[in-house]
Amino acid sequence: MAEEVPAELVRSLEGTAREVRKEVIRMTFAAQSGHPGGSLSVADILTTLVFHELRIDPARVDWPDRDRLVLSKGHASPAMYATLALRGFLPREELSTFRQLGSRLQGHVDRTKLPCIEASTGCLGQGIGMAVGMALDARLRKASYRTYAVIGDGECQAGPTWEALMAGGHYRLSNLVVILDRNGLETDGSTEAIMGIEPIVEKFRAFRYHTIDIDGHSIPALLDAFAEARRTTDGPTAIVARTVKGKGVSFMEGKHQYHGKAPNSAEAEQALAELSRGEGAPS
């Protein structure tokens, strides 16, 4: 049964997600490098996690009982850095150093550079394996923290992803939540044309995951899904979040070309204007 979601909370999270998207555009434009498409698609997911779902504290980055968030699709680092900065884990002005020489904000998230990052990721399937290990560690030590792993479409074409998922299902890790940012696109085109991953919901279920299929840009749907995951006690949860690559920026939406292409000056100006108005093509 879905929990009642306060309208004020939804509006607040939606506003924060728009700010995250603006920072993604600013960061990738300033660096003339990075991955805007998948960062824009995952913004609502990360915002809901970092600002509502996760038990975390910017004043205690190393708090032993904090919930763990692993961005397995590590190339979406602009969205991760922006969300963490808005939550107070790093200075917002530091976002301007993204991908600069000597910056803590690497192109792929790096735990050795930034303590609030739980795992250095980027290689397909690397992060989800570490997330499963964290969840298993919590069970063995009888710790209370939960682990959330955000994975990408391309990762579901990689063998290590399914090896890790198989372990999570085998050990019935009810403290593990896997969120798939299902935007349907990767570097060279659609996932289904390159190496189809459907029927993805049935695959997660076959691996013993309680699986929830939602609109990944709906804050109420995300809140309900995370609440349902907390109520699930007989195994891990997988949330298939259907999203749009480049969400919020009309000329980027649904375009695989913006997987790893930074906006130019005119594009950045238009993107920021659209995001300020809350525009963009419909989902």
Q: To the nearest whole number, what is the mean pLDDT of the chain?
A: 96
Would you say residue 1 has pLDDT above 90? no
Nearest to 74 by CA among 113, 102, 100, 48: 113
> Given pLDDT bands bounded at 50, 70 and 90, which one contains residue 279?
low
Whole-model pTM: value is 0.96
> Given pLDDT bands bounded at 50, 70 and 90, which one contains residue 238?
very high
What is the pLDDT at residue 140? Answer: 97
| Inter-residue contact 259 to 186 (CB < 8 Å) | yes
What is the pLDDT at residue 282? Answer: 41
Give residue-wise pLDDT tens across range 100-126: 999 999 999 999 999 999 999 989 889
Would you say residue 3 has pLDDT above 70? no
What domains appear along the chain, each with residue ranges and CATH number? 7-276 (3.40.50.970)
